Amino acid sequence: MTEDSQRNFRSVYYEKVGFRGVEEKKSLEILLKDDRLDIEKLCTFSQRFPLPSMYRALVWKVLLGILPPHHESHAKVMMYRKEQYSDVLHALKVIRFVSDATPQVEVYLRMYQLESGKLPRNSSFPLPKAFEQYLNLEDSRLLTHLKMCSAVSKLPYDLWFKRCFAGCLPESSLQRVWDKVVSGSCKILVFVAVEILLTFKIKVMALNNTEKITKFLENIPQDSSDAIVSKAIDLWHKHCGTPVHSS
């Protein structure tokens, strides 16, 4: 039996006996022991599996480029990053992209966009088009209902795609979505939005008013969040494939 076959067998066994994630945690710990962290493998791991909470902050910082791959540089770089945070925040206030009244979630987004050279000239995002495309593939009748109610253009896209569901999903579910976003797959946001509509289809179909539909989607029941994220990840894999390590 090859090493990959043995690993797959162990993963299936752990899942069947109720210890799903044990093998994945061990694999991540092996990756984190390297003197120079392998960014590509960390990205692939984050897209395939939920990150253990004890390692999430470290992995996110490395994937976002906040920390370098080399362990020995982390302490010094973090000191520089704190100074950089203050400088970037000041710059955003000077150019009036944020103010003291700006929600913290949006401040963090703008800081990242400025640092990565992606600060938009306007607030338009292309994700709503992809959302409409995949919702049509999954449930064209539901999309037709939204169009008939003139609700498609009024859905909470800012909450979904600008804030990346912060303020919509509870933290435990949100972290699983952001694992994918941080590792480079923003498209997961589209499938979370689609799955929200699919999960609450009966409720949405019963509403014929744009304002009521939007208000409901902005305040969805929290007890369904974990299931929504799990199904959204399945949809993401269905339409985009499952990430694998490159050789």
> pTM for the full model?
0.75
Domain covering 17-64 in this structure, CATH number:
1.10.10.750
User: Per-domain residue ranges for the chain?
Assistant: 17-64, 71-116, 127-240
Is there a contact between 55 and 42 (Cβ–Cβ < 8 Å)?
no
Q: Token digits for 75?
A: 């302490």
Q: pLDDT at position 247, please?
A: 37
Angle CA 120–110–224, to nearest 5: 105
Q: pLDDT tens, position by position, for the chain (247 residues)?
A: 555 555 555 555 545 544 556 688 889 999 999 989 999 999 999 999 999 999 999 999 999 888 999 999 999 999 999 999 999 999 999 888 889 998 888 898 888 888 888 887 655 556 899 999 999 999 999 999 999 999 999 999 999 998 899 999 999 999 999 999 988 888 999 999 999 999 999 999 999 999 999 999 999 999 999 999 999 999 999 998 876 654 3
Record: fold of 127-240: Cyclin A; domain 1 (1.10.472)
Q: Which amino acid is at 32?
A: L
DSSP tag of 52: P
Rg (CA), the chain: 20
